[in-house]
Amino acid sequence: MAQIVLGVGASHSTLMNTHWDKVVHTERAEAFRDGLKAARDRIEQARPDVVVLVGSNHFRGFWLDLIPPFTMGVGEVVAAGDGGTPKGPQRTDPEFARALATELVNAGTEVAISARQTIDHGQAHAIQWLLDGIDVPVVPLVVNVFAPPLPTMPRVVELGANIAAAVERIGGDRRVVVVASGGLSHQLPWPSDWTDPGNEDEEFLVEAWLNGRGEWEKYDTRRREIIVAAQPTIFEEFDERFLADLEKGEMRRYAELTTEQILEVAGNGGQELRTWMTMISALGFAPGKALAYAAMPEWLTGMGVAVIEPSSAPTTGSAGAVA
């Protein structure tokens, strides 16, 4: 039968590609990059036949005219190429993707499907760094983390568990790696409520989110200016506790966090933790290993990378609220 052989979680930031020469905390940046390379080597060693790539989309493939909670690419997948990430068609496995989507729907997780899906750096950054030189097809699964109402954390955890069960039911001998791209804590200069932008920049962003389909690049220059000018807000204590709990296999305590609670403890960019929780749940809440963490104000983000081996799954979970 098909089996999940590894889980990987990694932060992304296009500023890592475009603003490396502006980095002040060089040792931190290099440590994170080394962590990505170590995770990439672990993926290669796992000999995957397919990678389920769970990530977000920053309004280059999805728009406010239609954003499902979960969308799986089951056909052509094209990377937008924003921020120096890969551009163009990506290698895919439509047969496996369609089977996975079918099994998820049958299990009660109604994923939308896309036969021509556009992904942006929310997933292409992982392809660039974690799959560098590894010739493996990807099945992108986009989670809505930026356009409320967002899928709840319990729903995300259910998604991960259903992915694990679906992989087993599909059969065959495929070796599957689940990669989560996003987080950790960060605050983006985006409107908290897209229906009520608070200034000219937010009005511009909402216009881009509404009208960017097919022409996102015409909005990109000013979007980048807004992002680069943002003041960094990183919650290092939360990030470090999150990774420590991952190493102890105590991630179930995050499974009930609300959107409002995540905003308070990890910023609006922390909503991307849903991608990590999908992967962690798919790996059975097994304890993992943090390979790197770097608070990078130059990239606006707490940058973490970790791996989980499915064989180390604990028999019981850990409950308890996150302060």
pLDDT in tens, 44-77: 999 999 999 999 999 888 999 899 999 999 999 9
Q: If you average pLDDT over every residue of the chain, what do you get?
A: 93
How far is Cα 320 from Cα 312, in angstroms, rounded to an integer?
Answer: 21
For the chain, counts of helices (H) and of strands (E): 10, 9
Does residue 312 carry a pLDDT above 70? no
Q: What burial class does residue 37 get, using C-beta atoms within 10 Å of its C-beta: 0-12 exposed, 13-18 middle, 19+ buried?
A: middle
Return phi, psi of residue 322, to 5°: -90, 125
Record the pTM: 0.94
pLDDT in tens, 164-194: 999 999 978 999 999 999 999 999 988 877 8
Strands (E) across 56-147 are located at: 70-80, 87-89, 112-119, 138-143
pLDDT of residue 321: 57
Residue 76, sorted as left (phi over 0), alpha (psi -120 to 50) or beta, turns out to be: beta
pLDDT of residue 311: 64
pLDDT in tens, 101-156: 999 999 999 999 999 999 999 999 999 999 999 999 999 999 999 998 999 999 99
Lookup result for tokens 């996102």? 216
Does residue 251 carry a pLDDT above 60? yes
Q: Indicate the pLDDT class of residue 217, thresholds 50, 70 and 90.
A: confident
Lookup result for tokens 């302060």? 323
- Compute CA 117 distance to the chain's CA centroid, rounded to the nearest angstrom: 16
Which of 2, 175, 178 shows the shortest CA–CA distance to 99?
2
pLDDT of residue 323: 53
Mean pLDDT of 234-240: 97
- Residues with Cβ within 8 Å of 196's Cβ and at least 6 positions away in sequence, in order, are none
CATH class of 3-188+230-311: alpha beta
Please give the single-letter amino acid code of residue 233. Answer: T
Q: Is the dihedral of CA 43, 287, 163, 62 positive or negative?
A: negative
